């Protein structure tokens, strides 16, 4: 009987009816996965910001005034704000929330702008004041400095006074710790700045 079983197994093996033992680890992979190489560092794209050429001036001092002006072009008496920067100053006078005077002066340049209209300092004097006033006149008044080269200047305990009386001018200019008073009687010009607390 043992011989019979042996011969039957042998016959089945030779005819292929009994499955052969198959190694589960194939010697060759069935499909190949393509190799992808990734960069070690991601590529960085640098965007350069546009160069800003205009430098914004830092505000040095802002003072509020009761501003009274009577000239050839305007007459008003309202609240104003004088903002001083390192190289310029800006006087803005408001009446009922609206600007009645927007004056910008560049200290070391020959420009004065009233609103969006700019002129030379001499041109400003011709249009709004008196053409024979020194070019630095309005700038000096707003900075509480002497005018006309400090002509006829008398110092006081709180500032100084200048009186310039001649055939062209009838000027009294007084600077105190509280403000400025300028009057030219012959040319009918008045400028008063009274500091508000």
**Domain edges within the chain:** 59-195
Lowest mean pLDDT among 52-56, 97-101, 182-186: 52-56
CATH T-level fold of 59-195: outer membrane lipoprotein receptor (LolB), chain A (2.50.20)
Quote the DSSP letter at residue 74. Answer: -
Task: Answer yes or no: is pLDDT of 69 > 50.
Answer: yes
User: How far is Cα 157 from Cα 83, in angstroms, rounded to an integer?
Assistant: 26
> Of 184, 189, 192, 82, whose CA–CA distance to 128 is shortest?
189
Confidence of residue 107 (pLDDT cuts 50, 70, 90): confident
Q: Is the pLDDT of residue 40 over 70?
A: no
Q: Which two tokens stand for residue 40?
A: 């070690």
Q: Output the pLDDT for position 53.
A: 42
DSSP state of 16: T
Mean pLDDT in the chain? 81
Q: Please give the C-alpha separations between residue 106 and each of 59, 89, 109, 110, in angstroms, as whole numbers.
A: 14, 7, 5, 7
Taking 60 as the threshold, does the pLDDT of residue 169 lie above it? yes
φ, ψ dihedrals at 142, nearest 5°: -70, -25
pLDDT over 60 (residue 87): yes
Most confident of 61-65, 88-92, 107-111: 88-92
């Amino acid at each position: 009987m043992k011989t019979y079983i042996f011969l039957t197994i042998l016959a089945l093996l030779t005819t292929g009816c009994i499955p052969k033992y198959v190694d589960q680890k194939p010697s060759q992979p069935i499909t190949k996965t393509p190799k992808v190489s990734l960069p070690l560092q991601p590529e960085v794209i640098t965007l350069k910001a546009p160069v800003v050429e205009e430098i914004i001036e830092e505000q040095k001092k802002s003072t509020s005034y009761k501003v009274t002006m009577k000239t050839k072009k305007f007459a008003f008496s309202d609240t104003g704000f004088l903002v001083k920067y390192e190289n310029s100053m800006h006087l803005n006078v408001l009446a009922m929330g609206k600007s009645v005077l927007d004056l910008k002066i560049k200290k070391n340049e020959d420009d004065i702008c009233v609103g969006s209209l700019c002129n030379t300092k001499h041109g400003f004097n011709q249009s709004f004041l008196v053409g024979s006033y020194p070019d630095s006149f309005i700038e000096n008044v707003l900075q509480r400095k002497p005018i006309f080269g400090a002509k006829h200047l008398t110092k006081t305990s709180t500032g100084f006074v200048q009186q310039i009386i001649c055939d062209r001018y009838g000027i009294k200019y007084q600077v105190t710790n509280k403000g400025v008073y300028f009057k030219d009687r012959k040319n009918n010009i008045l400028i008063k700045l009274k500091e508000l607390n």
